[in-house]
Amino acid sequence: MPRARRARLLTLLAVAALVITGALVWADDGDRPPGYTTNEAVIDVAAAPGSDDRVQLDTTMYVPERTPAPAVLVPHGFGGDKNSVAREAAELAERGFVVLTYSARGFGRSTGRIALNDPDHEVADASQLVDYLASRPEVALDEDGDPSIGVTGASYGGALALLLAGNDERIDVIAPVMTYNDLGQALLPNAATTEPIASGTPAPGAFSDGGVFKRAWAGSLFSAGLGPARPSGPGAEAPEPGDDPEDGEDAGFSSGTAGASVPMPGQRLPVGENDGSPCGRFTEQVCAAYTDVATDGVASEQTLALLRRVSPVSVTDNITAPTLLVQGTSDTLFGLDQADANARQITGAGGEVSVIWYTGGHDGGVPGAQLRTTIGDFLEHHLIGEGDDPGIRFAYDVQGALRTNGTPSVRTVEATAYPGLRTAPADRRTIQLAGTEQVAQRPPGATPSAVSGIPGLNRVLANSSRIAGLFAVDPPGQAAMFTSGPVDSQLLITGAPTVTLNVAAAGDSARGRDAVLFVKLFDVNPDGSRSLPGSAVAPVRIPALPADGTPVEVTVTLPGVVRPIEAGHSLQLVVATTDQAYATPTEGAAYRISLSGDSAVSVPLVPGTTMTSGWPVTQLLGIGGVLAVVALVAVVAAIRRRRSHHVDPKLADTPLVIRDLTKSYPGGLTAVKDLSFRVERGQVLGLLGPNGAGKTTTLRMLMGLIQPTAGDITVFGHAVSPGAPVLSRIGSFVEGSGFLPHLSGAENLKLYWAATGRPAEQARFEEALEIAGLGDAVHRRVRTYSQGMRQRLAIAQAMLGLPDLLVLDEPTNGLDPPQIHQMREVLRRYAATGRTVLVSSHLLAEVEQTCTHVVVMHRGSLVASGEVSDIVSAGGEASFRVDDPAAAVKVLREIDGVISAHADDDAVHADLDGLPRSEAVAALVRAGVAVEQAGPRRRLEDVFLQLVGEGERDR
């Protein structure tokens, strides 16, 4: 066995041994009984203060081995239930806490309607649960009726922790995670102000006219509450444990153990059918508020008042309990600004606050095991009094480049104090930006919109460099861009950058109206590719731009991020007119945008100490598991790379070779069977066959979209497989190009090429356009194009980069005869450059005139291939145009092997039965008959029908 292969094998065996050992350790650990028991109970609470109606809350209490013990209340996130936080509850119970989890009203098995953490509903429910815990013998008390208690929860549950601490003085400590301060400001942000930002002070208030609606996020959240409502009140039946009234399956209750409590009288869990309300499980007030803002993207004063009432901002000045705020840096729903507002307000009221920014959030995930341990330490110190003070004041995670195993590197930095989202001038750095005044247009209907990411998936996209660029797109003409020079050393942005802009109406459609813009700060690599830190966008609503076109100066605070800008990278400020995640005005408008002041962006810096932590055995074993997976992926990738990088030197100059290609599907269907053919440089090859012949399947395998069952495809000697590098040498056009009608042809082509991530100089726009023959029309908007011009633009798009192999599916569909003639010339010109064209078409006469070669498929198999002239003349029938038809007939009949000959006007038709036409022409000339033209009598259509049978002509 070769040494290198043996070394790789030993490495894989070592990794496998580590994984197996880890699995055995985990299995052994899992056999140990938990250090707690669980009790199920349904608890009646008042539906509202002073109301006789009741709401039933489904709860689980985790009781540690030693009691009485301090309690921790763990509410869940929006759309979840008590089972969503079972892991966190179990970990806290193992620490020795009594833990109570519950399904909030309107969720899980609990009754009532969702009021979004209203003080008279969900917050009052939580206070009644504190009363319940104070009555339990398992819970330690500070005094009668006052349990020793903390609250921790994420998102919706985190806001409940803050609201409860601000309403109930019995709460001793809270640890809210990735939550909000003001739901109105979170869902309708406005990052602009006309006032300067004072150093070290909170940001001035947003414009009074309101913010910009986060339509994508709000719609997702509202849909989570549209299920059937469960009725409350006497007479409702309680389901048996484990019986879900909606689907009949186990609802996921933890199993009761010794000492489980028995529900108190009246603790019945009612069920019922949806009452048909368009509000689903929401209260009418919440439903009305959503309808108000979702209709036009603008919130009424009544809606804003409701959102403020149910937000922590309404009570932060009452919070005195020690608070640990944990907020994610990958969160386009509740950004760092929400934690910053909570921290400033609680601190201003005299509270003790610690802040952690971690690499997670609604786009990046909940805290991992290490951070959950830190939260547990914080609760333990303040509730049990054991252990050292964690000493956290401010810490932030910095995500670096991806490691070789594909996982991001993360380091934690601790600072001595929380500086606020915006830091003092001494802790900021200005980066000069270049760019003159630009006009940015918003198209009618705000379509197409810029794409900054996909809410909830942004971190996944950001970690994939190959696809990140597809989800950070600004359509041409719709954004102003200002770019810095490369930074000379790493710049660690920690907080919210700011920039001052001048914005003016550029036309009548924008004058006197609100301007809605979206400001983003990209990290640009030296190769020109860019990424948007945290997928963070600052929406800006500028009320009533002056009608005379005078610019308005606005200072924009961008979302807070933690982002290392590496040496050699640049910053790019983009001011866009649309964003698909937000509600955008649909009227067309144009704006003049320029930098104001010193033409710079100001970025915050927070120096600190990089902390390291130990490596628990379980983490090492987890790493072993990850390494095993990575090793397996690496082996598969290596095999694929070897296959895709292997070059057959004999075929290195051959555009396409297909050998014994087969594609079968489950159920016995074979779409392609033992297909073989070869395409050379300079050929225009037509792929023909009736419907179901396997043409489309063949093209999809050629493009690497599906894997063949057997056989292989080589392009210039390289084996084709999904993602193979050689695919970059293939250009393709599938019917339906999807051009943006309000952009010119040239702008569409540039947008398409930018999405490929390849350098602009490789596009060779001018050459592709010259071959396509669009002329000056390429600068006109596509909506003015004829069908033929659109098809030629689509061919130009496929020709970008001048690929060596051009694959076209029905390029002449919908064209009239003159347009078809023009398309024929386009393809011939392209092949004349020494490249190759493969055309799948149903127009047989056009293929005959355009293509030099043809491949005919039928029922997945090859039935004929070769030059068009050879295919159509294979039957031996020929036609001659001569000056003396009668003499020609006599001469041809005297030639040995000619079966028949007859005249038809000035043409003579003969069945040569295999005799070369050249010999027949020579005999006619020797006999003194002038031959003007000679060729096969049959058309390609005749041959095609003979090969595949009547009635199966391709349609």
Q: Give the H/E segment covering residue 92.
A: helix 86-94
Residue pair 22/624 in contact by the 8 Å Cβ criterion: yes
| Range with the largest mean pLDDT of 166-180, 458-472, 672-686 | 166-180
pLDDT at residue 918 above 80? no
For the ranges 67-81, 214-228, 264-278, 627-641, which has the lowest average pLDDT? 264-278
Half-sphere exposure of 707 toward its Cβ, with a 13 Å CA cutoff? 6
859 and 762 both lie in a single domain: yes
What's the pLDDT at 408?
A: 60
Q: Give the H/E segment covering residue 901.
A: strand 900-904
Residue pair 893/885 in contact by the 8 Å Cβ criterion: no
CATH number at residue 922: 3.30.70.100
State which of 823, 841, 868 marks the end of a domain.
Answer: 868
What's the pLDDT at 117?
A: 95
The number of helices, as runs of H, and strands, as runs of E, in the chain is: 23, 41
**pLDDT band per the 50, 70, 90 thresholds, residue 452:** confident
What's the pLDDT at 231?
A: 52
Q: Is residue 353 assigned to a domain?
A: no
Q: Which residue has the higher pLDDT, 619 or 609?
A: 609
Q: Is residue 194 assigned to a domain?
A: no
**pLDDT band per the 50, 70, 90 thresholds, residue 288:** very high
**pLDDT band per the 50, 70, 90 thresholds, residue 624:** low
| Range with the largest mean pLDDT of 424-438, 549-563, 734-748 | 549-563
What's the pLDDT at 954?
A: 43
User: What range does the domain containing 477 cover?
Assistant: 425-606
CATH number at residue 504: 2.60.120.260
What's the pLDDT at 22?
A: 42
Parallel, antiparallel, or unpaired for β 479-483 and 530-531? Answer: unpaired
3 state DSSP class of 161: helix
Sign of CA dihedral 85, 87, 93, 97: negative
Q: In whole angstroms, what is the distance from residue 559 CA to residue 539 CA?
A: 10
Q: Give the H/E segment covering residue 770.
A: helix 765-772
What's the pLDDT at 284?
A: 92
Residues forming a β-bridge with 556: 192, 499
What's the pLDDT at 589?
A: 92
What's the pLDDT at 113?
A: 93
State which of 847, 868, 889 marks the end of a domain.
Answer: 868
680 and 582 both lie in a single domain: no
Sign of CA dihedral 762, 831, 660, 943: positive
Residue pair 152/76 in contact by the 8 Å Cβ criterion: no
Q: Is residue 191 assigned to a domain?
A: no
Percentage of residues of the chain with pLDDT beyond 90:
37
What's the pLDDT at 273?
A: 38
Per-residue model confidence as pLDDT tens digits over 306-356: 999 999 999 999 999 999 999 999 999 999 999 999 999 999 989 899 999
Per-residue model confidence as pLDDT tens digits over 176-206: 999 999 999 999 998 766 544 333 333 433 3
Let me know how long the chain is. Answer: 955
**pLDDT band per the 50, 70, 90 thresholds, residue 925:** confident
pLDDT at residue 51 above 80? yes
**pLDDT band per the 50, 70, 90 thresholds, residue 851:** confident
Q: In whole angstroms, what is the distance from residue 465 CA to residue 210 CA?
A: 36
Closest to 606 in 3D by CA, of 427, 352, 339: 427
488 and 471 both lie in a single domain: yes
State which of 268, 296, 324 marks the end of a domain.
Answer: 296
Q: Which residues contact 133 (CB under 8 A, 6 or more apart)?
A: 71, 73, 98, 100, 139, 147, 149
Q: Is residue 161 assigned to a domain?
A: no
Query: Where are the extended beta strands (E) located within 53-184?
Result: 54-64, 71-74, 98-102, 141-143, 146-147, 149-154, 173-177
847 and 735 both lie in a single domain: yes
117 and 254 both lie in a single domain: yes
Q: Is residue 188 assigned to a domain?
A: no
What's the pLDDT at 737?
A: 64
What's the pLDDT at 346?
A: 94
Structural domains of the chain, count: 5
3 state DSSP class of 125: helix
Q: Which residue has the higher pLDDT, 458 or 365?
A: 365
Q: In whole angstroms, what is the distance from residue 26 CA to residue 236 CA?
A: 44
711 and 697 both lie in a single domain: yes
Q: In whole angstroms, what is the distance from residue 202 CA to residue 367 CA?
A: 28
* Max intra-chain CA distance, the chain: 128
Q: At residue 697, what is the residue type? A: T
Q: In whole angstroms, what is the distance from residue 637 CA to residue 645 CA?
A: 12
496 and 629 both lie in a single domain: no
Query: Where are the extended beta strands (E) located within 569-612?
Result: 570-576, 589-595, 600-604, 609-611
542 and 623 both lie in a single domain: no
What's the pLDDT at 124?
A: 96
Q: In whole angstroms, what is the distance from residue 38 CA to residue 90 CA?
A: 10
Mean of the pLDDT values across residues 908-913? Answer: 74
Cα distances from 933 to residues 9, 567, 897, 906, in angstroms, run 70, 71, 21, 11
Percentage of residues of the chain with pLDDT beyond 70:
77
| Range with the largest mean pLDDT of 187-201, 214-228, 675-689 | 675-689
667 and 593 both lie in a single domain: no
Mean of the pLDDT values across residues 287-295? Answer: 91
pLDDT at residue 480 above 90? yes
Residues forming a β-bridge with 836: 805
Closest to 894 in 3D by CA, of 874, 869, 876, 920: 920
The pair of structure tokens assigned to 361 is: 């959030």
For the ranges 230-234, 729-733, 780-784, which has the lowest average pLDDT? 230-234
Q: Is residue 187 assigned to a domain?
A: no
pLDDT at residue 24 above 50? no
Residue pair 782/797 in contact by the 8 Å Cβ criterion: no
931 and 838 both lie in a single domain: no
Mean residue pLDDT across the chain:
79
pTM of the shown model: 0.61
Q: Is residue 498 assigned to a domain?
A: yes
Q: Is residue 399 assigned to a domain?
A: no
Q: Which residue has the higher pLDDT, 80 or 812?
A: 80
Per-residue model confidence as pLDDT tens digits over 662-678: 998 877 788 899 999 99
What's the pLDDT at 735?
A: 53
pLDDT at residue 613 above 60? no
Q: Which residues contact 806 (CB under 8 A, 6 or more apart)?
A: 730, 731, 732, 798, 799, 830, 835, 836, 837, 838
518 and 659 both lie in a single domain: no
576 and 551 both lie in a single domain: yes
The pair of structure tokens assigned to 410 is: 């993360």
For the ranges 273-282, 651-660, 741-750, 907-916, which has the lowest average pLDDT? 273-282
pLDDT at residue 938 above 50? yes
Residue indicated by tokens 């910009």: 212
